[in-house]
Amino acid sequence: MSDVTASTDTKVNWMRIDIKTAGPAIALILLCIIGFLLNPAFLSEGNLTNLLTRSAFIGIIAVGATFVITAGGIDLSVGSMAAAIAGVMIIIMNSAMETLGPGLATVLLGCGCSILLGLGAGWINGMLTTKGKIEAFIVTLGTMGIYRSLVTYFADGGTLSLEFAIRGVYRPVYYGSVLGLPTPVWVFIVVAICGWLLMNRTAFGRYCTAIGSNESVAKYSAIKVDRIKTMTYVIQGLCVSLATIIYVPRLGSASSSTGVLWELEAIAAVIIGGTVLKGGYGRIGGTILGALILTTIGNILNFTDLISNYLNGTMQGLIIIIAVWLQRGDWGKAKANKS
Amino acid sequence: MKTLKTLTALAFTGALSLTAGAATAEKLRIGVSYPTPTHAWAAGMNWHAEQAEKRLEALYPDIDLILVNSPDPSAQASALEDLVSVHKIDALVVLPFESEPLTDPVLNVKNTGARITVVDRGLSQPGIEDIYVAGNNPEMGRVSAVYMKSRLEAGDNIVILRGIPTLIDNERFDAFMAEIDGSGINVLDHKHANWNRDDGFEVMQDFLSRFPDIDAVWAQDDDIAIGVVAALKQAGRDGDGMFVVGGAGMKETIKSIMDGDELVPVDVLYPPSMIATAMDVTVASFKSNGPVAGRYILGATLITQDNAKSFYFPDSPF
């Protein structure tokens, strides 16, 4: 008897989880149908490639943000960090051109520095939150301001531009494609797979979830809480530097308007994907769908003139709320209980 | 008797030192207040203001220009108070952060007897400023449209990338549409690209996927135009006489116009150097024997390969 109840319980549970996990995917499919109905060119190969390439920046950053948020933290500095790293990369590559010439070596040097800077910036955020015992919100709000003003300072208020000769070598990193898919999409796919494995198949991922659900319990369970939390910020920094490496060759420039509001887009992508903002539950797959949804909204709005330009923000806000409601709302539960 | 003598001597010395004081105070002090440069155009303005300060102070030893930049409207209001109380300015050149919150602070400066020059953004009350120097937003839209009409024929298609939704953007856009109206040129659509390279790139990518036949682009701004050009080149649609018209007068754009770029053949001026014009005019109001007070609306000059040289400042950040 009890066996039977238990099995129906798990069955009901499974259905509920199914609807919830499918939420972001349903939202994305609905958006694509709407896009196609508005303009069939939406599903053209060119537009789909653009969409995926564009999602890569926010998507890669959001994979890192999934770890930070799952472990109960938050990182507001990613947009400014991307701008600052892009600025420093450009300065380094421009000055290295005299000695190394405009070749592969210069580009590799720039990318290497980008990764070091990302790891370092993430480590600073992590140490200040764990060892410094300052709330992540305040630490990263502070570093957000610092990085943003640094890039303004480096650029003398204007725009830093990559030397034209280097651009020729670096260009394929954004514009090139392998097996029909643009390079940024490949980077996005690799980051997503690594992120998924790290979150779902390693002790590190389980530790993040445990810390996010209850830090004290995690500490008593002999998890090195400070080290794991710092690691999440370092991973976030690495993701930001990877996103920057594929961003710089696009327009070859960085200014104070680079990466503005990326932090909010990344956090929105994570939450739309089903990760819980207060930590304890993270979904990399959902995050990737979330990033795709955000980019698709902007893309669709550019494809139609039905909606006033001034209402773009309204449409984006509505779709974000609906996408999250699809998986959080009581409707799934109520339905499951009734049946 | 002796005391009286000493007193007279003292009084005399006092009077002398007073005259000496008056002589140094005769130096004309002109305060120049504008927003802290946080984007390229404002950085260019900052550079031009510094250049004008050096040039004018070298030209007139009795003039002292005091440059102050402020990060927000309330900081600018405090900066204006300091210019009056600390520097005792005789004239003020101000580019207000916002019109409303700075109207009263500027009025207070005027009440101390200082001459007022307002740059670019007007105050919300008329009659405060003695001199007004500004770029011409509607003219910028109109000049761009006139150029479009000179290159295109009836039935040709253009798309428009607009700036940040503001009054400035509306003035440019409305004047452009009024001029293009009746020419037979189709405006396929217009979207906001927020005076930003990345947005310009993405909006243009979407326009290119959506419209198979585009003959020209009005990007309104040099930063947007850079994104547009990258998107056109990516899609391989930068040939066949396609052209992009930006605006403002960024040095990189001017340089490529000088070099005969065909994709961005012209630019429409909305110069950050207008602050230097305002400083010149203000100094002239003290030095010139002709009347100077009035409104100076700068032309939205069409920059082509022929005249580009006179708008090129390689050392400016913009």
Domain chopping of chain B, boundaries: 26-135+272-287, 137-268
pLDDT at residue number A6? 45
* Nearest residue to A43 (alpha-carbon basis) of A54, A32, A58: A32
Output the pLDDT for position A338.
Answer: 45
Tell which residue, B183, B242, B193, has the closest CA to residue B222: B193
Contact assessment for residue A80 and residue A145, using Cβ atoms and an 8 Å cutoff: yes
- Record: contact A309-B39, CB cut-off 8 A: no
Nearest to B40 among A54, A157, A299 (CB): A157
Check for a shared fold between B26-135+272-287 and B137-268.
Answer: yes
Tell me, what's the pLDDT at A4? 45
Superfamily of domain B26-135+272-287: Response regulator (3.40.50.2300)
A99-103, A253-257, B92-96: lowest mean pLDDT where?
A: A99-103
Q: How many CB atoms lie within 10 A of CB A193?
A: 12
Interchain proximity A50–B205, CB inside 8 Å: yes
Give chain A's contact residues with B (Cβ, < 8 Å): 39, 41-42, 44, 46-47, 50, 54, 152, 155-159, 161, 175, 250-251, 253, 255-258, 298-299, 302-303, 305, 309-310, 312
Q: Where is pLDDT greater, at B98 or A289?
A: A289
DSSP code for A72: T
Please judge whether A256 and B210 are an interchain contact, meaning their C-beta atoms are less than 8 angstroms apart. Answer: no
CA dist., res. B254 & res. B314, Å (int):
10
Distance, CA of A152 to CA of B43 (rounded, Å)? 10
pLDDT of residue A325: 83
Residue recorded with tokens 């754009």: B253
Nearest by CB: B191 against A250, A255, A309:
A309
Q: What is the Cα–Cα distance from B62 to B23, expressed in whole angstroms? A: 11
Q: Please indicate whether residue A2 or residue A319 has the higher confidence score (pLDDT).
A: A319
Coil vs helix vs strand at B72: coil
Q: What is the mean pLDDT of chain A?
A: 88
Residue in A87, A89, A62, A71 with CA at minimum distance from that of residue A239: A62
B279-307 in b/e form (b: 16+ CB < 10 A) is bbbbbebeeeeeebeeebebebbbbeeee
Q: Where is B292: in which H helix or E strand?
A: none
Q: What is the pLDDT of residue B5?
A: 55
- pTM > 0.90: yes or no: no
We find that the CATH architecture of domain B137-268 is 3-Layer(aba) Sandwich (3.40)
Query: What is the Cα–Cα distance from B174 to B140, expressed in whole angstroms?
Result: 11
Number of A–B residue contacts, CB under 8 Å: 80
Phi-psi region of B216 (alpha: psi -120 to 50; beta: other; left: phi over 0): beta
Give the model's pLDDT for residue A310: 83
The CATH class that applies to domain A22-328 reads mainly alpha
pLDDT for the residue B9 = 52
Query: 10-residue block means of pLDDT along chain B (318 residues)?
Result: 52 48 67 87 90 94 92 90 92 89 91 92 86 91 95 94 87 94 94 91 94 94 93 91 92 91 93 92 92 90 92 86
How many CB atoms are located within 10 Å of the residue A174 CB? 21
Give the closest residue to B220 by CA, choosing from B183, B187, B258.
B187
Residue A124 pLDDT > 80: yes
Domain locations in chain A? 22-328
pLDDT of residue B71: 86
Give the relative orientation of helices A78-100 and A45-70 as an angle to the nearest 10 degrees: 110
Nearest CA among B262, B194, B204, B198 for reference residue B235: B204
pLDDT at position A100: 85
